[in-house]
Structure 1
Amino acid sequence: MTAPLEGVAPRTIYYEDMQIGQQESLIHTVTESDISAFADLTGDHNPIHIDKAHGAASRFGSNIAHGIYTASLLSAILGMRLPGPGSIYVSQTLQFKAPVRPGDTVTVTATVKDLQDKGRRVTLDCAAEVDGLAVMSGEAVVMAPKKPTA
């Protein structure tokens, strides 16, 4: 399994340097091994995710990735790129709109929507799509790190 941001250098964007509209994306192709590893990590072995025969007989026609797996790609962005190391996840809302299947290439994007000086809170619009089709949307709130004084 390859981590979604493997080979991408972490970067911290301090609260004082953030701007409304600033965004970061990652692109990741979901594999069977991603889904299997996520099932093993979480204990969620729902057959819709891991049993090919069950997936083929479902309304989706195939296995699908865990919705929370797709959402977890947001954590990679928030923890490693925007704001990055030193940020603290406060809350997340999610709406799952369509399935993500093994082999799908997912583009996940976080966009700064609001900045609140008190507590250095940053609200970000979050989206995921496959081939231009929205598969997930939501909103995250994080505490961004303060710029160190010289």
Structure 2
Amino acid sequence: MLLGKKRKLGRRVEDIKIGEKLKLTEKIEDKDLLLYLGLTNDSNPLYIQHDFAAQTAFEKPVVPNIMLTGILTSAVSKYIPGPGSYITGQELKFLKPVHHYATIDFLLEVTEVDIKHNEVVIQVQGSDEHGDVVVQGQITANPPQ
């Protein structure tokens, strides 16, 4: 964390162009899952217990979808438009479960820029190591002013 340090604001809406893209890769580790579960007090055994998950259609523990959402919203806050951005909407579909230790490639692309309303729309997609799309949708954000 950069406590006490002054951070530079992300880009203003006028500086963002349709077609801008960001690619990032995240590996889902046990520590990330345990932090999430501890922070939210979510005790769904589907997320952590192998013997429980084996009894379900998923067969193995799955990553909570909100963790994938967090990776995407974090990318908006860090990169497009960047620090000072405020997310005003999101519409995501989770097409396939993600299992522990998966590596997900995320692609974000700016598809709309509304200067008058200080708003950008970013299409998002995440694919697993097999190339299967696991999450897709869009995030709407207000860049810093």
Counterpart position of 1:37: 35
Aligned pairs, number? 137
TM-score (norm 2): 0.88
Shift of 1:129: 0.9
Structure 1 residues 11 and 130: alpha-carbon distance in aligned structure 2, compared to 1, 3 A threshold: farther
Equivalent-residue separation in structure 1 for 2:23 and 2:144 (angstroms): 20
SS at match of 1:57: coil
- For 2:141, the aligned partner's letter is V
Counterpart position of 2:4: none
Gaps of 5+ in 2: 1-7
- For 2:26, the aligned partner's letter is H
Equivalent-residue separation in structure 2 for 1:11 and 1:52 (angstroms): 43
Residue of 2, 21, 24 corresponding to 2:22: 24
Equivalent-residue separation in structure 1 for 2:32 and 2:81 (angstroms): 25
CA RMSD in angstroms comes to 1.5
Equivalent-residue separation in structure 1 for 2:44 and 2:80 (angstroms): 32
Counterpart position of 1:66: 64
Counterpart position of 2:83: 85
TM-score (norm 1): 0.85
Residue of 91, 111, 114 corresponding to 2:112: 114
Counterpart position of 2:126: 128
- Deviation per CA, 1:99-127, whole angstroms, max 9, x where unpaired? 11111001122210101112210011011
Equivalent-residue separation in structure 2 for 1:117 and 1:16 (angstroms): 6
- Deviation per CA, 1:1-38, whole angstroms, max 9, x where unpaired? xxxxxxxxx88232111111101122111012211211
Deviant stretches of 4+, over 2 Å: 10-14
